[in-house]
Amino acid sequence: MKKLNLIILIVLLLGATAIMGYSFQPEKLEVAANTSTPKLLPDFNMYDINGKVSSIHQLAGDKPTLFIYFNSTCHLCQDELGEISKRIDEFKEYNLIFTTVQPKPEVIGFVNDLEIKDRSNVHFLLDADMNVASYLQIKSLPSIFCYNKKQELVAEYVGVTKIDLLLGNLASAK
């Protein structure tokens, strides 16, 4: 009986440790201030999902801008963009630029499902030549960059990031 109790206790402790380890994941990974990521919003001309060439700087204008590099097959990207689309009205004062290296046919269904592409402050760009990916040194997805109205980098995140944190950075970047 003592052996059975000991085995049950060990299993419970291991289970509790596993649950605590899983639930204690950082909600964001903010890149340190001394990162080698360029401090200014890149200015490349790229095709949007409608086939129109657009300048990143012109799309950002003089508003704080959230720039997200994503892949439609990435589960973390799907979660992040899904959460943004649910709260899209809270982003109306900011520009959102979503960029992917994927060809248009691979991403168009995902973009349509988000139901945000027709908003004037939301832009989906195709980085076919990987110019932006190289410039920003994209290593993981989603990669999220917050820029102020002067198009200067305010914060950078990798992975799923709390929407309230993104909104807070954008609000302080006015």
Residue among 14, 61, 64, 43 nearest 125 (CA): 43
DSSP code of residue 108 = H
Q: How many percent of the chain have pLDDT more than 90?
A: 78
Residue 36: per-residue pLDDT: 76
12: left (phi over 0), alpha (psi -120 to 50) or beta: alpha
Burial class (CB in 10 A: 0-12, 13-18, 19+), 163: middle
Please report, as a single letter, which amino acid is at residue 21.
G
pTM exceeding 0.85: no
Please give the residue that has the higher pLDDT: either 90 or 37: 90
At residue 37 the predicted structure's pLDDT band, cuts being 50, 70 and 90, is confident
Strands, E, within the chain: which ranges?
Answer: 45-48, 53-55, 65-69, 95-100, 122-126, 143-147, 153-158
Residue 20: per-residue pLDDT: 52
Q: What are residue 47's DSSP bridge partners?
A: 53, 126
At residue 31 the predicted structure's pLDDT band, cuts being 50, 70 and 90, is very low
Please give the residue that has the higher pLDDT: either 104 or 34: 104
- Calculate mean pLDDT across residues 5-24: 55
- In this structure, what token pair is assigned to residue 39? 């401090």
What are the residues whose beta carbons fall under 8 Å from the beta carbon of 168, sequence distance 6 or more?
A: none
Q: Which domains does the chain have, with CATH numbers?
A: 29-172 (3.40.30.10)
At residue 17 the predicted structure's pLDDT band, cuts being 50, 70 and 90, is low
